[in-house]
């Protein structure tokens, strides 16, 4: 049997070191562990660095919507109320999501960092990963592998009215949200 490494960090090459450092520290409620002219390390948990930035003082090309590159990083909260709390904290600092999607396996809020990389804040719908896998193998994913968009303020309202985390994570709850195809936000209009 082979040993399994654990995922440790992600590194972005950026021409906006300060803006990116501040944004990731705010969104992930983290802090800068190290920073010099070339490198910055940010963490928010037990790892010594989770997000690193390489920002040598030089011109760089910006990623476009059609650049084949890493699309997003994702961070999982313990429950819907923690996810809502982070959304509200960021909203009140004018950091607003690009799109929110009820994937079925996760309830996800997508932001764009200052460079245009997406960041997904999410909760798992299923406690057991095997149940999430079974869901992906079922009819919902066969019909639509993305899921419907939802309005985060509506989600908060429904939560206040007593909807459970499971109901809020059910695609049926958002089937008629009328918010269009979320993939157009994630990938740009085709
Ligand atoms: Fe994701």
For position 175, what pLDDT does the model report?
92
- Whole-angstrom Cα distance, residue 16 to residue 61? 12
Contacts of 26 (CB under 8 A, 6+ apart): 90, 93, 95
pTM over 0.85? The answer is yes
CA of 58 relative to ligand 1 center, distance in Å: 31
Residue 190 pLDDT grade (very low, low, confident, very high; cuts 50, 70, 90): low
For residue 43, the cross-strand partners are 31
Q: For CATH 3.10.180.10, list the domain ranges present in the chain.
A: 7-58
For position 164, what pLDDT does the model report?
97
Contact by Cβ (8 Å): 24, 36:
no
Contact by Cβ (8 Å): 108, 168:
no
Phi and psi (nearest 5°) for 44? -140, 5
For position 188, what pLDDT does the model report?
82
Phi and psi (nearest 5°) for 153? -70, -35
CA of 180 relative to ligand 1 center, distance in Å: 19
CA of 103 relative to ligand 1 center, distance in Å: 9
CA of 3 relative to ligand 1 center, distance in Å: 25
Contacts of 186 (CB under 8 A, 6+ apart): 71, 98, 99, 110, 118
Q: How many helices (H) and strands (E) does the chain have?
A: 8, 8
Q: What is the CATH number of domain 7-58?
A: 3.10.180.10
- Whole-angstrom Cα distance, residue 124 to residue 72? 17
Tokens, residue 146: 């993305």
- Whole-angstrom Cα distance, residue 129 to residue 83? 19
For position 66, what pLDDT does the model report?
86
Residue 92, SS3?
coil
End-to-end Cα distance, the chain: 44
Per-residue model confidence as pLDDT tens digits over 84-138: 999 999 999 999 999 999 999 999 999 999 999 999 999 999 999 999 999 999 9
CA of 120 relative to ligand 1 center, distance in Å: 6
CA of 141 relative to ligand 1 center, distance in Å: 15
């Amino acid at each position: 049997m082979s040993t399994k490494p654990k995922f440790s960090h992600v590194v972005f090459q950026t021409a906006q070191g300060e803006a990116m450092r501040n944004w990731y520290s705010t969104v992930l409620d983290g802090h800068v562990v190290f920073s010099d002219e070339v490198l910055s390390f940010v963490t928010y948990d037990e790892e010594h660095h989770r997000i690193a930035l390489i920002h040598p003082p030089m011109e760089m090309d910006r990623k476009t919507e059609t650049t084949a590159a890493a699309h997003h990083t994702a961070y999982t909260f313990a429950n819907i109320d923690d996810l809502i709390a982070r959304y509200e904290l960021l909203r009140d600092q004018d950091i607003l999501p690009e799109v929110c999607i009820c994937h079925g396996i996760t309830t996800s809020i997508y932001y764009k960092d200052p460079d245009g990389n997406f960041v997904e804040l999410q909760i798992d719908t299923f406690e057991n990963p095997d149940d999430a896998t079974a869901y992906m193998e079922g009819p919902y994913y066969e019909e639509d592998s993305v899921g419907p968009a939802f309005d985060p303020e509506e989600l908060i309202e429904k939560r206040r009215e007593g909807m459970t985390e499971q109901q809020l994570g059910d695609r049926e709850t958002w089937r008629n949200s009328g918010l269009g195809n979320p993939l157009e936000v994630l990938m740009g209009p085709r």
